[in-house]
Structure 1
Amino acid sequence: MRTLLKVTLDVAAANKALMEGSLPKIMQSTIEKLKPEASYFYTVDGSRSCFFVFDLKDVSEIPAIAEPFFMQLNAKVDLSPVMNAEDLQKGLMNLQSIKGS
């Protein structure tokens, strides 16, 4: 399932991880693990943030994905199923067939 992982890092924890050299390693490890179709890095309300769009094969993967951010960066983590334009069109076409019934 195409999934959006949004991570907002705690400023103090991210500063410490950056100074210790673990922040780049955590991000690289996440990218290697998720193999995202897209990843972006930005700020939200003065905090470092990032998001990844990736294929979540099974919900049992969630702890392995989220825990490094929780435990090492005191981050806020959100996971949401998402659609691209093709998925949306397919879903809307399915609605049309239901409506026409």
Structure 2
Amino acid sequence: MRMMLRAVMDTKQTNDLTDPARIQEIWGRILGRLDPEAAYFSPHQGCRSCVIVFDMQDSAQLPVLLEPLFRELGAQVEIQPCMNKDDLMRGLEEAAKAR
């Protein structure tokens, strides 16, 4: 299922990661596990943040996917199912048939 993850990182905790190679390693591992369809990074309310869209096969993946964000980046995380436009159109067709 296509999921959208929003993470807002703790500024102090991420400031303490001063080694660019360490930051690259953390994000490389996180993005490698998520294998995102899309990933965007921007400031949000004065903090570092990201929105990542990825495919989740099983809810049991959540701890593996989210723990690095919590532990290493002090992130506040939201995750929810989402659709692209093709999904929306297909869903609307099905909804019309079900009426």
TM-score, normalized by length of structure 1?
0.91
Deviations for 1:34-70, whole angstroms, at most 9, x for unmatched residues?
A: 1111111101001000121111010000001111111
CA contact (8 A) 2:30 2:68 kept: no
Alpha-carbon offset, residue 23 of structure 1 = 2.2
Partner of 2:23: 23
Aligned residue number for residue 12 of structure 1: 12
Deviation at 1:10, TM superposition (A): 0.4
Q: Does 1:96 align with 2:96?
A: yes
RMSD: 1.0
Aligned to 1:85: 85
Deviation at 1:95, TM superposition (A): 1.1
Number of equivalenced pairs: 98
**Contact 2:7–2:76 (Cα < 8 Å) also in 1:** yes
Q: Once structures 1 and 2 are overlaid, which stretch shifts more, 3-12 or 28-37?
A: 28-37
Question: How far did residue 25 of structure 1 move?
Answer: 1.4
1:57 corresponds to which residue? 57
TM-score by length of 2: 0.93
In structure 1, list runs of 5 or more residues that go unmatched.
none
Match of 1:33 in 2: 33
Structure 2: where are the runs of 5+ without partners?
none
